[in-house]
Amino acid sequence: MKPVIIDLIAAQSGTGKTTVLEKLLPELTARGLKVAALKGEVRRYDLDVPGKDTWRFAEAGAAVTGMITPDKYIFIGSAPAEGINATASARLPDMDLVIIEGKRKSPFPKIEILRSAVNRQPLLPEGVIAIVTDLEELPLPRPLPLFRLDDPAGLARFIDERFFRSGKAAEPELTHLDKAGRPRMVDVSGKKSTHREAYAAGEITVAPQTLARIREGTMKKGDLLAVAQVAAIMAVKDTGRLIPMAHPLNISGVDVDFKLNEEESKIEIGVRVKLTGQTGVEMEALTGVSAAALTIYDMCKAIDKNMLIGNIRLLEKRGGRSGSYRRENEDG
């Protein structure tokens, strides 16, 4: 059986491909995968400098030269007609996965590394399946999984599930129930503190005249959206008290945005929550959206009792062992 081959690419050198791969390898091997890591398009290795045994073997006509130890080996050679991807596939049949640095033009899946200090625009050649970056915001022409540079565990999980456990993974467990079916708070004490982020959205549909008064700021109870914004922030901070199995968290940032959609006579609400910690902030973002919508309802109910709150959903999350998530078929 031929191994799965993935190319690790970047727009230029200095982006951190080697560091990403170095951190990714132990996460992949911990999942039981046998992984080969190769450098592509390299002119000279230290191993094959003139005078070294490997250089002498190659000069003497060996098609492939390298070294073997009881548990690892390398190979050095040239295959201009086939290219490194085909060579790796043919010569490493006992591997589950081969990751090759530097091949942008190949028919194999690619993971692109994007580092803000080096370049801020992705190449996105054909075959890119994910992006690893330190950029907080990255507008893309099509939805792609995003992973932070400091989240090798999430990237390893993505690779494992996409190529090796597709259709075979066990049913996800309800983590807030123990084996006896009793509710519990998940123990996160063993998890690493990493950057976590979540963005949730929702909406409240109101009468056109209600929306007009909100837009003009003529509600008797004052600046309605400012109050709803404060309500969202307060709810985010109080999620651990409001939602029984949610953890009390030291939130590092909350952003709330509103969009008045006059065509559909509704207010669209977005809440982004950030944290460096051991658990995610999806519930905090969702709770913030809910509180903002309820506050708008409370402040407008005297003039509009037909308001409708709905479509509250998670749009995006980053960080943690499960990696990044982006809801598909969403505008913006």
Which residues are identified as catalytic? 298
Task: For residue 119, count other CB atoms closer than 10 A to its CB.
Answer: 15
Sequence-distant (6+) residues with CB within 8 A of 281 are 196, 197, 198, 236, 249, 251, 273, 274, 275, 317
CA triple 296-299-303, angle to 5 deg: 110
Per the CB < 8 A criterion, the answer to whether 222 and 329 are in contact is no
Nearest by Cα to 278 from 234, 256, 248: 248
Query: Which run of H or E residues covers position 84?
Result: helix 84-91
Assign residue 3 a region (left: φ > 0; alpha: ψ between -120 and 50; beta: otherwise). Answer: beta
Find tokens 């999350």 and name the residue.
317
Sequence-distant (6+) residues with CB within 8 A of 39 are 45, 100, 101, 102
* Amino acid in position 209: Q
